[in-house]
Amino acid sequence: MVTGAGRGIGAGVAEALSREGYAVALTSRSRDQLEETAARCHGPTLVLPADMTGPGAVDLLLEQVERAWAAPEVVVANAGAGVSASVERTTDEQWQQMLDLNLTAPFRLLRRTIPAMKRAGHGRIVVIASVAAKLGEPYISAYTASKHGVLGLVRSAAAELARTGVTVNAVCPGYVDTPMTEATVQGIVDKTGRTPQEARAALEAKQPIKRLITVEEVVEAVLTCVRNGGMTGQGINVDGGGLQS
């Protein structure tokens, strides 16, 4: 099961898991985007549009997957969003939006999927976090707080499940060449008057490799988490060397 599977990293992960031989349940808010992802997959798919922050949404999604197939063996919690504002200009609504989508939704997903994985004696959970899970940057306090929180969730869950055959890891990308980063570029343009090219160059310059990370590079890290049963509780940086930990 892959959340946020309509585009960007989620779509790339879904397609890669399909190539690995998995039947893949796809969810995001846009049916059209999910259908496009499903068309690029090599094997069986379920298209399940949903808002992960909705009341009971996670339970409903898992019930649909279990009725159609079985409890998921691999769960990739990718759905997420960002917001930019200084601390004093961050509204309660923005703060809550970041916590609901980036932290509470993954928590509910783990809580719902862990019992079946424990019974099976095998499972792989991967949360797409961010380098913001480890580092504070200006103007993204709500986003950073939610990502710090979700990395803590991953580490605690991994410690609990270490002897069960279930692994829990996070992948922590830097700036990735995705629609979410394009929205960041547009935000910089709107607030600073820079050109899109200048704004994009500023993001590229934050990473030692001086370019954006590709979706494929993030997908490879996710696949490593799926394949390697000896790796759990990790926050794997895919950021061009910006955080050396």
pTM over 0.75: yes
Say what the alpha-carbon torsion angle 171, 182, 10, 99 is, to the nearest 10 degrees.
60
Q: What is the pLDDT of residue 196?
A: 87
pLDDT at residue 157 above 90? yes
Distance CA 171, CA 150 (A): 11
Say which DSSP state 138 is in: T
Q: What is the pLDDT of residue 179?
A: 82
Q: What is the CA radius of gyration of the chain?
A: 17
Each residue's pLDDT tens digit, 16-38: 999 999 999 999 999 999 999 99
Say what the alpha-carbon torsion angle 9, 15, 21, 27 is, to the nearest 10 degrees.
70
Each residue's pLDDT tens digit, 60-117: 999 999 999 999 999 999 999 999 899 999 999 999 999 999 999 999 999 999 999 9
pLDDT at residue 152 above 90? yes
Q: What is the pLDDT of residue 107?
A: 98
The residue ranking higher by pLDDT, 118 or 244, is 118
Average pLDDT over residues 202-222: 94
In terms of CATH, what superfamily is 2-174+214-238?
NAD(P)-binding Rossmann-like Domain (3.40.50.720)
pLDDT at residue 143 above 80? yes
Query: Which residues does the annotation mark as catalytic?
Result: 143
pLDDT at residue 124 above 90? yes
Distance CA 192, CA 78 (A): 29
CA angle 167, 112, 118 (to 5 degrees): 45
Domain range annotation of the chain = 2-174+214-238, 175-212
Each residue's pLDDT tens digit, 195-209: 989 988 988 998 999
Q: What is the pLDDT of residue 134?
A: 97
Q: What is the pLDDT of residue 32?
A: 97
Each residue's pLDDT tens digit, 158-188: 999 999 999 999 999 999 988 888 888 888 8
Q: What is the pLDDT of residue 43?
A: 94
pLDDT at residue 245 above 80? no
Say which DSSP state 66 is in: H
